[in-house]
Amino acid sequence: MDLTELTIKQAHEGLKNGEFTSVDLTKAYLEKIKQSDLNAFLSVTEDLALEMAEIADEKIKSGNFGLLCGIPCAIKDSIMVADEKCTAASKILENYSAPYDATVISKLKEAGAVILGKTNTDEFTMGSSTENSAFGVTKNPHDKTRVPGGSSGGSAAAVAGNLACYALGSDTGGSIRQPASLCGVVGLCPTYGAVSRYGLIAHASSLDQIGPIAKNVEDSKTVFEAICGRDNMDATSVDYKFEEEKTGLKGLKIGVPKEYFAEGLEPEVEKIIRNEIQKAEIAGAEIVEISLPSSQYALACYYIIGPAEISANLARFDGIKYGLSEPGNDLLDVYLKSKGHGFGAEVKRRIMIGTYVLSSGYYDAYYKKAQEVRQLIRQDFAAAFEKVDLIFCPVSPFPAFKIGEKADDPISMYLADIYTIPMKLAGLPGISVPVGKIGNLPVGLQIIGNHFQENKILSVAGLVESKE
């Protein structure tokens, strides 16, 4: 038996029945990571992992342990694990160690989880391919010449390549769902506020959300249940307790946005997604064509609001308090050299856009206007959810593309998130479930629900998965 192929539930049963120990499980993953050439991990916390596994084994012996106890996982390298490196895949934080645990990490530690290491990401989570990492691109396990998606590409590749049982990622514009789709795993982006952001290095604070990447829907539900809820350290978090719901397809109203099946969507991807919609209809769901007219402005809106928040959030990395500090003749020189050498091209691009749209004379023309459009996008979704229960649509307009294929064309790269960004601007939850392949390249179906309807999304995603 290859222990690294087990799901959370299967591994839990094995631990419970004494078929193997958490240390055995952890060593199997660590060995596989050592042999891997995917570049999914930026750092492997071997000593910490084995120590956590030993503690978990003691807990397991007592018989009082939960589903995540002793199960090895991977953490995106923008989420802090106390005393371990947290680089956000940037040279500016290359030697930075986290002074405390993110709330989600405290919750996983409490559950007895085993942390294998920190996974690769686009620098400061800015990108859709993990090519913007300062420490090299991650390869897609299904085709090593292709990207795993981004920015949580390392987490998705780790789960798809059986280098971790599950992983945590973060989603600002699509960074959990898009790599999950490209790597053929399940990625859940929770409702904004359902999971604490405390200890996540901020990208765009009104959009960032931590969520699980897992081998199947059941595993993603298990992890989500463990990490969700109110946190006093995050004022945007909500007092939310996940309660499982059995939602059947019979009589369910599924919305299909006409704007999401337009020019730009690859015919093969469209065929796979429409096939899933048809399967749902055969199973008794009512398919309703809906319109989300303001979605056409979502990408432009996102690339004003996101960079504006980036400009503010990344101002702290100035060579004084955090990370890289280059010597200079005066304070301004230190700032310029530290940021100039520490930040990569995409991060600089977004900081400059953000600073521009917030500057005097442009704030009303760009940032204020983008916030007004964001409100229209929210209203579109609110109107849609008066008619339907869930929305089915693509995650990405195309499967995994070749490494380097879009590197010199930022606009083409930004279009990778065209179907994931609108619901982020509305703060809604969504999941990517693998539903087919083009050759050997996976394609995910995106299921979007109303606020705090993760239970409905997960229930229907489980039905979709079981029909594959």
Residues labelled catalytic: 76, 151, 175
- Structure tokens given for 450: 């109303």
- Structure tokens given for 372: 């007004």
- Structure tokens given for 123: 């620098």
SS3 assignment, position 452: coil
DSSP 384-449: HHHH-SEEEEES-SSSPPBTTSSTT-HHHHHGGGTTTHHHHHTT--EEEEEEEEETTEEEEEEEE-
**Listed residue (226, 223, 138) closest to 182, CA to CA:** 138
How many CB atoms sit inside 10 A of residue 63's CB? 7
> Is the Cα dihedral 424, 425, 429, 430 positive or negative?
negative
Helix (H) or strand (E) holding 371: helix 369-387
Residue whose entry in the numeric block shows the structure tokens 């007092």: 239
Give the DSSP letter of residue 293. Answer: G
- Structure tokens given for 132: 């913007």
Phi and psi torsions of 364, nearest 5°: -70, -40
